[in-house]
Structure 1
């Protein structure tokens, strides 16, 4: 698994060219699709994980009408009584399943270590990495000695050439970053993408908006920087910390607004190497690229480039929008050249300690948690060391763990059932496309082609990484951390100039999530999400369609959201829409933006009211709305015209929508919600439930929702896109 920036390359369920399908999975244009029924297993072979048909009804709040708050109606008793564990900032179905996977992975690692495998095997590397991470006694005894050569390197920086080389070196922070991915306009080649970076706070707005919460966080962040610089031996750590914060404020000024940065028309800017070097003006960008191992690359894609007048007009950018776009990568390269060298050295020093805190003494580790965990996230307690060890080991050698995880915990029949469900959702999407009144036939032909070319990946990759060339040393937690970072980067850039690896995954099998990749046109479902309540071999079909069916539909929906729809069936970034259909699509998506802008989970008075950013979350909201709509169509097709049974007084449609509410049941700490609203393209979970169902006619009928109910929308205001 290559480590690229997921947020920029794929759309995940929670924050490459497509393969032409075989004739068995292709949907003919003149056919009326019929979904293959997905029946539950015989009752004698098992029973659902939850309730009698796959839904836990024990948390229903009878005092709340479904039409007033469907989330609270279905989960009210849980929302009122559940306490988020002290080592978490949120808790829901994803987190519960992740806990289970974490325990299973821990057992795999412990069993592997107990066998005392040779260090030159992948099992030996896995065991040695985890054991070194867990050996806090040795970490404490070493103190800051392991990082001293790196701090001395920073202290020895004298020229901008030295600075460029340090930015490029393993383990150091920089105001810009990058990754290798498929070229979105030439999907048979890899290219290096250059992007903004360098902030210690989650987003530019934390530096640029003077809310009371931001002011308090800045104070805490500067205190953390002071702590780090004091540990590094600075004579005036407070003064140096202020320099770092001021420098990061300048970096934030150069950054792009997160919502506008979603626009793929604006973030695809191909440059020659000479053009990129010229963008950096006096900064030694060529040295930077050479040190990064990119000196032989002829072209790059630079993600944040000041739009041209033509781009401003084509993308409908307003003066307000332009005010949210800093100078981007060019501005950051200029800042690297002009900002005070002592500020850069203090910046590199503080961030080096912060970035490697988990393999440094507790004094450093605890200080970093106190800010990022407690103050920023609202998390009262640090996670147990073994849990953090599992996370770190997965980041380092996750596919080695994943191979064993699949062997031990993934049922082959789940993959077969899931494959069938994916094809049923594909057929349902085809039917929905055929019925669209707002889309013309020319655009539909392209949409059919894209749908047919979706490549599903289910459970686990065809081949697992063997981690050849990665050297792990027993008892050296920090050195191993650095070795992994260096190996991962070298592994990533080794793709440049090579054929596209269509077997590549960007999540581990043990990850509870899913994603869509637009430049590969593929939908990916790791093994760990294919379990109750998302997917239950023994649950009623309505439940599986309302849960994993909607997840499948969500990822398919990303192929047709406001950004995914800019790529064709082969993953190529191009406009395949007629102007009229583009305008009709935009009218619907703008209406969805308006709906979500009205959702405000934090309302503490006029000066502290925070609402969902409907533009930032648009892609995920389209995925949710389209996904649940597709899943509902697929469910109805699976019935072949028959009425589903009423089970325990619950109708089929009610079970379908309850399944959706069940998988998104969650609680967030307020601090986590604040960060989510500022940075996350996903809406808070209560709005992923309520904001979607209120747009579906079938939900109104299933729960007898009427005018006057809080979630009621008149039929003409209900949004249907896919």
Structure 2
């Protein structure tokens, strides 16, 4: 199949000449309406958190909690707050992210109000990055001129060797590349990892979709490619777009893996030697690329996607249906690159460059990208205000400089102290749960306790925030700033090879509204940005803090014990520390959860459903996290009087806090996109699919047989 497709690709470009870069077109079609919207953006909904962290005025008392708990807690707010046009979804989580963005803007505005001489060098870099992205008049006046040097290099790469040289150059899109990461099986060392991409649509399934809607999206994507390649100078941009699409479709059909299978860490750790890598490189000069990147002396090369061996097929019990979802992986990708006409690969690189930099190119590029990726795929009617995007741009390039300013202003030390206590109680709760569970044997429990004891919690921000030494920001040249940041990031990453693992490094910025678990470091990380309402506040009722941030802490701890995180031991090493019997029992519980979530079908009369297998890790995190948080709440209030507030018991307030975190509404297009690409279940199922597993929820709200959400006790899944 690869040979036939490659031959087609080569033939399809015979009529295409290398594009000549002409003078930029003068496009002045701006509208007062759009400019006005860009200046301020939509009026945002607000959420009241009442006097103790949840406003009972939002309760839909006409809905029984046992019929639809999410609606009981959230429907009144959702109904009263239609989606503003700049959002594909909105809710408590998103609004906190908007607050973080506004808080950062307040800092940037202060810098802008100062005399330049009064700014520190870092503050000047922040302000220059922000203002450069914000200056759309300058971007429009420059046209495509800032992109010409890079497009010229792409069009000059007329052979596979020359293309590979660009693929190894920071700032240029590459269908295959290398970077330094922690070795999952030896987490005390750093090693090169080889990966590939190449798809312009969000997932391989978009290329395989034969429905009317799928065909419509494919057609609009081809139209977007045609626009980009026409602007890039192609005489027949539609033909070039077809060849690029055919190249990507081949990756989707033959090379890429289904997202669900790709979650299996036992299949995605493949350690190759330099000789092994050379044996699958084919015509692609992989060794030269790795040398140019600077990782050729790596002690080995981790490849995530390799065809499974017969032993792996047997060990992972891969049936024919699963094997059909596994593509040829890196060997297939390298073969495809070697057989694809260089002109096709040039066109692919050109469209990648123009699309990636569309926000800092003339407005027609920005509009075209928004029209496809935001309007078509997510249903979002209006672009975000430019200032918000300028904040995101600044955080993307020099985010820890921004984070340093953010935590100095917005993160009180008392919040960290309160979080330390919450984390300690969550760890106690999981320890008690491990002791009590009956499906796990003592040898496996001992390993689980060791892993729990070695968890490394990180709260707020790291003390040694990045300074980006050597990264120069050029006022007035946003593409140059992006390319410089890419080169700096590459050098910073490659410098880790052979160096001790830096356990202080974070994967999120302090101002980020999110949290994560990192299996190779066995760490849980909670940035300052998330330590606010609805998750946490020093003024909240204790039940609300445990049902909010406490459950989030439990969720992240739970990732260390989900279907994939549980494959790493106390040191972070990818190693089976389970007895066979215990693993079978654990997987059986997971399978029950998969079946429940597979039955959540929000669209097409029950035909478009949640993928319970794909979302299993997050669902285990949610169910285990809320269970841990409830137990920790009881530890924290043991021996204390828990009052009834506004007619709600402590247990009721705990579960309402969890529901409030996921208060959300979204557009159908975005919903469908996330069902395909997001490993998290939709928000309503993160509420209803979780609380119905806990006996305590039934008791708190008097849920009985006959209620829509009722599950018989024997069908409730309680893993941790």
Same fold (TM over 0.5): yes
CA distance in structure 1 between the partners assigned to 2:126 and 2:665 by the alignment: 34
Which deviates further from its counterpart, 699-708 or 163-172? Answer: 163-172
Matched, 1:540 2:538: no
Post-superposition shift, 1:246?
0.6
SS, match of residue 525 in structure 1: strand
CA distance in structure 2 between the partners assigned to 1:564 and 1:694 by the alignment: 24
Summarize the alignment of residues 609-624 of structure 1 with structure 2, pairs less than 5 Å apart. Answer: 609-624=607-622
Deviating beyond 4 angstroms after TM superposition, the runs of 4 or more aligned structure 1 residues are 117-120
2:278 is matched with 277
1:90 is matched with 89
CA distance in structure 2 between the partners assigned to 1:385 and 1:79 by the alignment: 27
Please, which runs of 5 or more residues in structure 1 have no aligned partner? 1-47
Distance 1:157 1:128, change over 3 A: same
SS, match of residue 108 in structure 2: helix
2:498 is matched with 497
- What are the superposed Cα offsets for residues 600-648 of structure 1, whole Å, 9 maximum, x if unpaired? 1222x47xx3111111100000000000000011111222245522111
Distance 1:212 1:686, change over 3 A: same
CA contact (8 A) 1:151 1:349 kept: yes
Summarize the alignment of residues 164-175 of structure 1 with structure 2, pairs less than 5 Å apart. Answer: 164-175=164-175
CA distance in structure 2 between the partners assigned to 1:581 and 1:647 by the alignment: 43
Post-superposition shift, 1:114?
3.6
CA distance in structure 2 between the partners assigned to 1:494 and 1:340 by the alignment: 34
CA distance in structure 2 between the partners assigned to 1:196 and 1:700 by the alignment: 47
Post-superposition shift, 1:63?
2.0
CA distance in structure 2 between the partners assigned to 1:171 and 1:52 by the alignment: 50
2:76 is matched with 77
CA contact (8 A) 1:113 1:128 kept: no
2:309 is matched with 308
Post-superposition shift, 1:282?
2.4
CA distance in structure 2 between the partners assigned to 1:256 and 1:113 by the alignment: 48
1:136 is matched with 136
1:110 is matched with 109
1:229 is matched with 229
CA contact (8 A) 2:56 2:646 kept: no
Post-superposition shift, 1:119?
9.5
2:625 is matched with 627
1:348 is matched with 349
CA contact (8 A) 2:295 2:497 kept: no
- What are the superposed Cα offsets for residues 55-101 of structure 1, whole Å, 9 maximum, x if unpaired? 11222112211111100011121222211121111101111111111
SS, match of residue 554 in structure 2: helix
CA distance in structure 2 between the partners assigned to 1:695 and 1:716 by the alignment: 10
CA contact (8 A) 2:544 2:654 kept: yes
SS, match of residue 667 in structure 1: strand
CA contact (8 A) 2:471 2:484 kept: yes
CA distance in structure 2 between the partners assigned to 1:486 and 1:590 by the alignment: 44
CA contact (8 A) 1:171 1:485 kept: yes
- What are the superposed Cα offsets for residues 388-447 of structure 1, whole Å, 9 maximum, x if unpaired? 000000011111111111110011001001001100100000001100000000000000
- What are the superposed Cα offsets for residues 677-713 of structure 1, whole Å, 9 maximum, x if unpaired? 1111100000000000011101111111111111111
SS, match of residue 267 in structure 1: coil
Post-superposition shift, 1:177?
3.9
Summarize the alignment of residues 453-492 of structure 1 with structure 2, pairs less than 5 Å apart. Answer: 453-492=454-493
**Higher relative contact order, chain-length normalized (CA < 8 Å, sep 6+):** 1
1:684 is matched with 682
- What are the superposed Cα offsets for residues 572-617 of structure 1, whole Å, 9 maximum, x if unpaired? 11000000000000000010011000111222x47xx311111110
CA distance in structure 1 between the partners assigned to 2:532 and 2:643 by the alignment: 24
2:398 is matched with 397
CA contact (8 A) 2:167 2:177 kept: no
1:214 is matched with 214
CA contact (8 A) 1:170 1:482 kept: yes
1:248 is matched with 248
CA contact (8 A) 1:664 1:688 kept: yes
Summarize the alignment of residues 2-151 of structure 1 with structure 2, pairs less than 5 Å apart. Answer: 50-115=49-114, 116=116, 121-151=121-151
Give the number of aligned pairs.
672
CA contact (8 A) 1:49 1:532 kept: no
CA contact (8 A) 1:117 1:124 kept: no
SS, match of residue 264 in structure 1: coil
CA distance in structure 1 between the partners assigned to 2:126 and 2:493 by the alignment: 20
1:268 is matched with 269
SS, match of residue 381 in structure 2: coil
CA contact (8 A) 1:60 1:73 kept: yes
CA contact (8 A) 2:92 2:663 kept: yes
Which deviates further from its counterpart, 188-197 or 524-533? Answer: 188-197
State the TM-score, normalized to the length of structure 1. 0.91
- What are the superposed Cα offsets for residues 234-267 of structure 1, whole Å, 9 maximum, x if unpaired? 1111111111111100111200110110111111
Post-superposition shift, 1:481?
1.3
CA distance in structure 2 between the partners assigned to 1:472 and 1:54 by the alignment: 42
1:152 is matched with 152
1:176 is matched with 176
- What are the superposed Cα offsets for residues 448-476 of structure 1, whole Å, 9 maximum, x if unpaired? 00001100000000211111010111111
Post-superposition shift, 1:52?
2.9
Post-superposition shift, 1:291?
2.3
CA contact (8 A) 2:178 2:290 kept: no
SS, match of residue 630 in structure 1: helix
Which deviates further from its counterpart, 169-178 or 415-424? Answer: 169-178
1:14 is matched with none
Distance 1:120 1:412, change over 3 A: closer
1:557 is matched with 558
SS, match of residue 471 in structure 2: coil
CA contact (8 A) 2:524 2:557 kept: yes
CA contact (8 A) 1:67 1:709 kept: yes
Cα RMSD (Å) of the superposition?
1.5
State the TM-score, normalized to the length of structure 2. 0.92
Which deviates further from its counterpart, 637-646 or 505-514? Answer: 637-646
CA contact (8 A) 2:509 2:527 kept: yes
CA distance in structure 2 between the partners assigned to 1:183 and 1:120 by the alignment: 38
2:530 is matched with 529
CA contact (8 A) 2:168 2:177 kept: no
CA contact (8 A) 1:161 1:287 kept: no
Distance 1:315 1:305, change over 3 A: same
1:700 is matched with 698
Distance 1:414 1:119, change over 3 A: closer
Which deviates further from its counterpart, 98-107 or 189-198? Answer: 189-198
- What are the superposed Cα offsets for residues 459-513 of structure 1, whole Å, 9 maximum, x if unpaired? 0002111110101111111111111111112111111111111110111110000
SS, match of residue 56 in structure 2: coil
CA distance in structure 2 between the partners assigned to 1:180 and 1:388 by the alignment: 29
CA distance in structure 2 between the partners assigned to 1:52 and 1:398 by the alignment: 34
Post-superposition shift, 1:293?
2.1
Summarize the alignment of residues 612-691 of structure 1 with structure 2, pairs less than 5 Å apart. Answer: 612-642=610-640, 644-691=642-689
